[in-house]
Structure 1
Amino acid sequence: MNDTPTSRPAAHRDETPSARRASGEPVSARSSSSESPEPQETPAYPLLEAPADGVPDVITTAAQLKECCAAIRAGHGPVAIDAERASGFRYGNDAYLVQLRREGSGTWLIDPVPLNDLSSLNAAIGSAEWVLHAATQDLPCLKALGLRPRKLFDTELGSRLAGLPRVGLAAVTEHFVGVTLAKEHSAVDWSTRPLPHDWLVYAALDVERLVEVRDALAADLEAQGKAEWARQEFEALLDFEGPAPKKEPWRRTSGLHALRDLRQLARVRALWQTREDIAQRRDTTPGRVLPDALIIDLARRNPHDTSGLVGPPAIRPRVGDGSARRRRPRPAHRGLARYGERWLAALKAADALPNRELPTATQRTSAPPPIRAWHDKNPAAAGRLDDVRYGLQRFSDERRVPVENLVTPDLLRRVIWSPPADTSEDGWRAALSAGGARPWQCDIVAPLLAEAALDHPSR
């Protein structure tokens, strides 16, 4: 099947977003005359309550790990793998439980904390395919334990390519296997020891039917002509090491946009780094040390002693007579008092910085300006973006694949804002490939870019 979008015939040039905007028509890839589908009741699926083979004991010793490796090696077919982390409780992204299941091997639950290195499993798995759900979530922590796949299948990403409306593990299992999974332990503190039995049941069930999901999904992708798309995506995931570190991560502090003074920004930076140091030392999530809202509050008020760390109680109107009464003050966050001297030292250090060392109001970046400014700054690029988005949305609707899986929004903006010297289809293909797009994505997006460049050439 040819998945490359065809160019618009000359007779339909007036359907471009640019032309339709000029005529006052809505710029939408969907027909405004189409009726919304009737809401459908969600079918009730039987709940998978217990592993078929029971819940295995958790592996905690080298001898037990050796036994696990022998069993995995003796099995056959793909290996379902999952990892549980303590996001929201611990500082890092470490795995606190690793689950494996293979036909002929059974299910294995491994506590990586006392073992630290699970690389011996690599030889046991060999070249067999890993099956994961949302691989980008688990690969970094698995690789930190020495586990590296040679081949993988991501059921979450594959489900997106297949056009499923919901791609959580429970929803995907419902769709392909006809049973559902419990979700109540997905956000618990997996660093807890000993792990409760019902948590272990949940963990074992996450890999119980995963290979079945993989097989049904692979058949669906093949039937839709998307198997090659998935193969390229999964191959690219083999090199995934995690998101690139942010250059100025403190700028992600919630509420930062409310501060305009550069000295206040310097205080946020200092408080943020102090919080990171404390959180890393305590192995806890930074938000538990001090919430973002209090960092912004301290940066704005700039207290000079411990008594000033807690702001004044809020005022709220009295119901009925319009007067005001003082709200009962909430207890101060324990992190304010516990590390009060550290916060004050950070504020003092920020205030002592010379002006030349203050942070800039906005982060310096090579990224294009916000899209809302494109029509004024670069009308040709704005026109190209409109047309390509329109074409991508049409393709998305026709083939049931999310637009963001056709090309990342960031890459699309970058290549359109700074087009290659060669704006032929081959030139755009090279630019997309250099930015990390896979060949199947280039096949779809490059023709749209080439046509948009003809309609909206850079001056």
Structure 2
Amino acid sequence: MIETTADLAEACKTLAQSDYITIDTEFLRETTFWPQLCLIQMASPDLAVIVDPMAKGIDLAPFFALMADDTVVKVFHAARQDIEIIYNLGGLIPSPIFDTQVAAMVCGFGDSVSYDQLVQKVKNVHIDKSSRFTDWSHRPLSEKQLDYALADVTHLRDVYQHLKAELEREGRSLWLTEEMAILEARETYDMHPDDAWQRLKMRVRKPIELAVLQTVAAWREREARARNVPRGRILKDDAIYEIAQQQPRDAEALGRLRTIPKGWERSTAGGQVIEAVNLAFDIPKSDLPKLPRQNHVPDGAASAVEMLKVLLKLTAEQEGVAAKIIANSEDLERIAVDGEEATVSALSGWRRDLFGEKALKLIRGEVALRFVDKRIEAVEL
């Protein structure tokens, strides 16, 4: 493993001479808010290296400089968590990037295909997964563990070349470019604590419930970041939901909630939660947050959504693209209800060309679905 800044700089200098490099990271985050980076693997067509970011005195500046080099394509599989780590530690987002999981969906390998499944399909190579749940912070790592880690970037070279050629052959390279723009956007990784409530799935019924949800979720987010512990260690989601519904304004009321551990209401954290609840009540009624629009499918539209699902599956099979990347259930509901006015990704860019126009024709009665020789087909009327 590379354990010194000088060796890392030399390796990055060599890797930077290639058109592309494959990258993976190993990390732990079960007991922390911020992921603990334990290993960095990188490979070019001529070099493969493992970097120990935990080595004493090592400076990762050469690695971050390589990530910022826009002449080198950075190839990841399921890139979001790797990029999140690089963004948190280095303050930058690698660019340009190529995510083989997304590319595989565009090329018809199915929804969210795993790395080992993709290697199996492209190279007919079976990856030994016995080291998958390794404690990557432990030192020394065995040769078997290092071989497993390195395989995450060496096979990725061939997967990248295969998918890149497939995209070019099918004329879909620009499709992937549109998808990578989302992964390269800073807002994807830089959630403000005041927006932390958006992670929660609770449906609120009143503006004051939403205000409490927002203030308590923001408090938990800041507390988790400051203490570097998982959000659930600070306060469980269920507790936030109950607090939003019951709105306890003093310790006694907080202590009566079933999701709050006995005595917790008298702790410093309990007092801060009560302050957060009261902060929401200090907001003037006219300034309370508006409830998010709930997608409601009118009576009779459910059948239209089912028809659109059939059309989506048919399109995905015909075009060799994963249905998941074309449209989701919410997209189909909005198209069924709002038609051309639906503000969904399925009606923009390549998705509109591939599926959106046909979907609009279907709900206008200009396309029919029929059963022929045990198969479904779409027919323009």
Partner of 2:217: 272
Q: Answer yes or no: is 1:197 the counterpart of 2:150.
A: no
Change in CA separation of 1:375 and 1:121 when aligned onto 2, cut-off 3 Å: same
Give the greater-gyration-radius structure (CA).
1
- Equivalent residue in structure 2 for 1:80, among 22, 37, 43: 22
Q: Which amino acid in structure 2 is aligned with residue 120 of structure 1?
A: A
CA RMSD of aligned residues (A): 4.4
Q: Which amino acid in structure 1 is aligned with residue 274 of structure 2?
A: L
Q: For 1:63-109, what per-residue CA distance to the aligned partner results, in whole angstroms no more than 9, with x for missing partners?
A: 233222233246x5641112345445443568664321123222132
Three-state SS of the structure 2 residue aligned to 1:209 is helix
Three-state SS of the structure 1 residue aligned to 2:267 is helix
- Equivalent residue in structure 2 for 1:287, among 229, 232, 248: 232
Partner of 1:318: none
Moved more, 195-204 or 286-295: 195-204
Partner of 2:155: 209
Three-state SS of the structure 1 residue aligned to 2:109 is coil
Question: What are the residue-to-residue correspondences of 1:236-315 with 2, within 5 Å?
Answer: 236-239=178-181, 240-241=184-185, 249-254=196-201, 256-257=202-203, 260=205, 262-303=207-248, 306=251, 309-311=254-256
Partner of 1:66: 9
- Contact 2:346 2:355 survives alignment (8 Å): no
- Equivalent residue in structure 2 for 1:234, among 176, 181, 187: 176
Normalising by structure 2, report the TM-score. Answer: 0.71
CA distance in 1, matches of 2:179, 2:35: 18
Identity value in percent: 19
Q: Which amino acid in structure 1 is aligned with residue 278 of structure 2?
A: K
Q: Which amino acid in structure 1 is aligned with residue 129 of structure 2?
A: A
- Contact 1:77 1:103 survives alignment (8 Å): no
Normalising by structure 1, report the TM-score. Answer: 0.61
Q: Answer yes or no: is 1:404 the counterpart of 2:324.
A: yes
Three-state SS of the structure 1 residue aligned to 2:24 is strand
1:400: Cα distance to partner? 4.0
- Contact 1:80 1:102 survives alignment (8 Å): yes
Q: Which amino acid in structure 1 is aligned with residue 238 of structure 2?
A: A
CA distance in 2, matches of 1:304, 1:200: 54
- Contact 2:331 2:346 survives alignment (8 Å): no
Question: What are the residue-to-residue correspondences of 1:52-451 with 2, within 5 Å?
Answer: 56-59=1-4, 61=5, 63-73=6-16, 76=18, 78-92=20-34, 97-109=39-51, 111=53, 115=59, 117=61, 118-122=63-67, 127-142=71-86, 145=90, 146=92, 148-150=94-96, 152-165=97-110, 167-177=113-123, 178-182=125-129, 185=132, 197=141, 202-218=148-164, 221=166, 227-229=170-172, 231-239=173-181, 240-241=184-185, 249-254=196-201, 256-257=202-203, 260=205, 262-303=207-248, 306=251, 309-311=254-256, 332=262, 337=267, 339-360=269-290, 362-363=291-292, 365=293, 369-370=295-296, 372-373=297-298, 375=300, 383=304, 388-407=308-327, 417-419=337-339, 436-438=348-350, 441-449=351-359, 451=361
CA distance in 2, matches of 1:398, 1:442: 15
Q: Which amino acid in structure 1 is aligned with residue 126 of structure 2?
A: V
Three-state SS of the structure 2 residue aligned to 1:339 is helix
Change in CA separation of 1:182 and 1:119 when aligned onto 2, cut-off 3 Å: same
1:278: Cα distance to partner? 1.0
1:306: Cα distance to partner? 4.6
1:412: Cα distance to partner? 5.7
- Contact 1:162 1:226 survives alignment (8 Å): no
1:133: Cα distance to partner? 0.5
CA distance in 1, matches of 2:295, 2:366: 19
1:417: Cα distance to partner? 4.9
Q: Which amino acid in structure 2 is aligned with residue 232 of structure 1?
A: L
- Contact 1:161 1:226 survives alignment (8 Å): no
- Contact 2:251 2:265 survives alignment (8 Å): no
1:148: Cα distance to partner? 2.9
Change in CA separation of 1:288 and 1:139 when aligned onto 2, cut-off 3 Å: same
Number of aligned positions between the proteins: 353
CA distance in 2, matches of 1:126, 1:299: 46
Change in CA separation of 1:278 and 1:237 when aligned onto 2, cut-off 3 Å: same
Change in CA separation of 1:202 and 1:305 when aligned onto 2, cut-off 3 Å: farther
Change in CA separation of 1:116 and 1:279 when aligned onto 2, cut-off 3 Å: farther
- Whose helix fraction is larger, Structure 1's or Structure 2's? 2
